[in-house]
Chains A and B, each alone.
Chain A
Amino acid sequence: KNQVEQSPQSLIILEGKNCTLQCNYTVSPFSNLRWYKQDTGRGPVSLTIMTFSENTKSNGRYTATLDADTKQSSLHITASQLSDSASYICVVSAARLTGGGNKLTFGTGTQLKVEL
């Protein structure tokens, strides 16, 4: 069964500090991995998309890493801001050779709170 597990479940950090969120997956065959930011009660917004061959991808203060061998990804947030308070969701896509449909598997997210 395809699964995506994220840790920690929640995290509180002080403004200006860095943090790293983890994502482990068992999705197969792997196609790509996405990180989304979801503010409370809003729709998710894409941060990064990485394929099998990409180890690192940055989007401003967000840097995602991918180790396809160990099936792990991390999202590093640098110099956190109050506006970074949100849920961060890891989404893994399985390749499909036949048939259709959306084979994205979502993690349950890490709830990040940035405080003064």
Chain B
Amino acid sequence: ETGVTQSPTHLIKTRGQQVTLRCSSQSGHNTVSWYQQALGQGPQFIFQYYREEENGRGNFPPRFSGLQFPNYSSELNVNALELDDSALYLCASSFGPLVTKTGELFFGEGSRLTVL
């Protein structure tokens, strides 16, 4: 167990809808990163939150947005869902943004999103 929890574990949406995914970071961790993992692919970086502010973003459109709360938990919001958004969404927590350090990055079990 990594201490990183995600909810919901599975959900099904239709095109055009909006979804909110949630992540509770490991105790003592102040940084949360979100990844999208399509079937058979490696995780793709969406964005990172460090001390409640966005601290870097991957190549994802603005309809992917997020929040980090004072307790360092985080949300990923996706608007106007498209079929290609179907994927496993992984949340990872760390102490610090892992710029050059070798700190551990702990992943949650993911939220499996299916868009019909």
Interface residues of A (CB under 8 A from B): 4, 31-32, 34, 36, 41-46, 49, 51, 89, 93, 95-96, 99-104, 106-109
Closest to B88 in A: A41
- In the complex, what's the smallest C-beta–C-beta distance from B105 to chain A, in angstroms? 7
How many positions in chain B have a CB within 8 Å of any CB in the partner chain? 32
Interface residues of B (CB under 8 A from A): 2, 4, 33, 35, 40-45, 47-48, 50, 55-57, 88, 90, 92, 97-100, 102, 104-110, 112
A102 touches B33 (CB 8 A): yes
A108 touches B100 (CB 8 A): no
A100 touches B97 (CB 8 A): yes
- The answer for the CA separation of A104 and B110 in the assembled complex, in Å, is 18
A41 touches B44 (CB 8 A): no
